Copies of this chain bind each other. A is one copy, B any other.
Amino acid sequence: MSDIKAEVIEAATRSKAAAATLRMLTRKQKDFALNAIADALVANESSILDANRIDVDDAIKRGTDAAIIDRLTLNSERLAAIASAARDVCALPDPVGDVIRGYTLPNGLEISQVRVPLGVVAMVYEARPNVTVDAAVLCLKSGNAALLRGSSSAHHTNVALADVMRQALASTDVPVDAIVLVPGTSHESVEVVMTARGLVDVIIPRGGAGLINSVVNGSTVPVIETGIGNCHVYVDAAADIEKAVAIAVNSKTHRVSVCNAAETLLVHKDIAAKFLPALLSEYKKLGVTVHANPALVGFCKSAGVSYEAVTDADWAAEYYSLDIAAGIVDSIDDAIHHIQKWSTGHTEAIVSQDVEATRRFVAAIDSAAVMVNASTRFTDGGEFGFGAEIGISTQKLHARGPMGLPELTSYKYIVTGDGQIR
């Protein structure tokens, strides 16, 4: 066994031991620890910001993109916001112990299906150091041990944040190993986590498609795939033009760097002449580039909006930019087939006043969220009222769509009898 492997296995073993204790703690004990963490983050501001400065300076030396440096950078205000978010989690109900279902069998056995923590939740994530705290806090509240592997570019910050949080736990009933940072920053350490079946109960990757695919393909530990979003907006023949323009604009341009932003627009041919001039003049103002199918090119020319001919790569693209693939379709079924072919199963929207069309679309589309006359941007734990979000699942197993605290739990059956045998 390599040194790295031995170290990571040792870390995961500590997480597993902590999980056995965490599972049995009360909400009061966990909330007390959450407040202690929030206090400690504020009290240790200077050491955290010093560590962050090292990561930021390194990133600047490497010539890192300014937007990424901004995501990496902590300051007093941002750290206070992170601590405040940890306090907010105290106000959320504890999912552990929730009875999902309960009933009594004819033989008198009483069956309860009760939420329990998953156990050890490994998070593998990129860039933003706030994820280190967010993930630790949500895992703690839901009774899970957090095994955290951030990116090497935020390594000093992550070490400082984890140290502060662990020191805070030392004076609480929560074991310090409720929060463990995976040792090292090599790829090997991630590989050990991904194959630590029996120690790690679930692994949640958060980051770009490369990271997520690498975890999905390399893990023997169960994975929850998150956040790949090639989201579609379909404007039906029976759409309300004003709503359709607002939704197509908001879905694309409200924030382009997020997974619930729209990447493709499909327009029914019968409404194209009325809808597209209104939309494309807005897109022109906002600096959107349209990757247009042949039927749509003429509208782009007339509107004077920036455009290119669409390719298969465009239909598949998550631009995370002010680009959108767009096409005129002959029917709602053509739109559905297009989406079935290219969607990543995140969010698709229909704009229509026709109940038959919306029923058909909702039934046929197999995505985590289907929006009827609303922006794709609403697929979000905060917007859904969950109070917190650990990620947005784009797989069908376990959890789908925004994942809050209940999605960080499993359940067990408690069967109570008075001597029943078969």
Contacts and interface: CB of A to CB of B under 8 A. Distances in A.
Interface of A: 20, 23-24, 103, 105, 109, 111, 116, 118-119, 197, 201-202, 216-217, 220, 222-224, 240, 242-243, 246-247, 249-251, 254, 340, 358, 362-364, 366-375, 377-379, 383-385, 395-398, 400-401, 410-422
29 contacts: A20-B340, A20-B366, A23-B363, A23-B366, A105-B384, A111-B385, A116-B366, A119-B366, A201-B397, A222-B223, A242-B419, A243-B418, A246-B419, A247-B421, A251-B421, A254-B422, A362-B414, A369-B413, A370-B415, A372-B415, A374-B416, A374-B417, A374-B420, A375-B420, A375-B422, A379-B413, A400-B410, A401-B412, A401-B413
B246 A374 contact: no
Contact of A400 (B105, B217, B412): B412
A397 B413 contact: no
Nearest to A396: B410
A422 B377 contact: yes
Contacts of A410: 396-397, 400
B397 A118 contact: yes
A340 B13 CA distance: 13
A275 to B, nearest CB: 14
Given A378-B415, A415-B371, A397 B396 contact: no
A348 B173 CA distance: 27
Nearest to A246: B421
Oligomer copy total: 2
Given A23-B366, A379-B413, A412-B400, A247 B419 contact: yes
A416 B247 CA distance: 13
A417 B370 contact: no
User: Interface centre among A20, A243, A377, A419, by most B CB within 10 Å?
Assistant: A419
Given A202-B396, A385-B103, A419-B240, A412 B377 contact: no
Given A201-B397, A384-B413, A401-B412, 6 more contacts: A105-B385, A118-B397, A202-B397, A358-B416, A366-B412, A374-B417
A383 B106 CA distance: 10
Q: Which of A103, A220, A367 has the most CB of B within 10 A?
A: A220
A413 to B, nearest CB: 4
B414 A372 contact: yes
A372 B249 CA distance: 58
Contacts of A416: 358, 372-374
A30 B58 CA distance: 61
B20 A368 contact: no
Contacts of A24: 363-364
A417 to B, nearest CB: 3
A20 B369 CA distance: 17
A231 to B, nearest CB: 13
Contacts of A247: 419, 421
Given A363-B24, A410-B396, A220 B217 contact: yes
A396 B119 contact: yes
Given A116-B366, A366-B119, A374 B20 contact: no
A147 to B, nearest CB: 15
Per CB-CB distance, the 7 closest pairs between chain A and chain B, nearest first, are: A374-B417, A250-B421, A243-B419, A396-B410, A398-B398, A222-B397, A369-B413
Contacts of A23: 363-364, 366
Which of A24, A383, A384, A422 has the most chain B CB atoms closer than 10 A to its own CB?
A: A422
A421 B375 contact: yes
A411 B400 CA distance: 7
Contacts of A417: 371-374, 378
B197 A216 contact: yes
Nearest to A116: B366
B217 A369 contact: no
Contacts of A249: 421
B412 A368 contact: yes
A411 B406 CA distance: 15
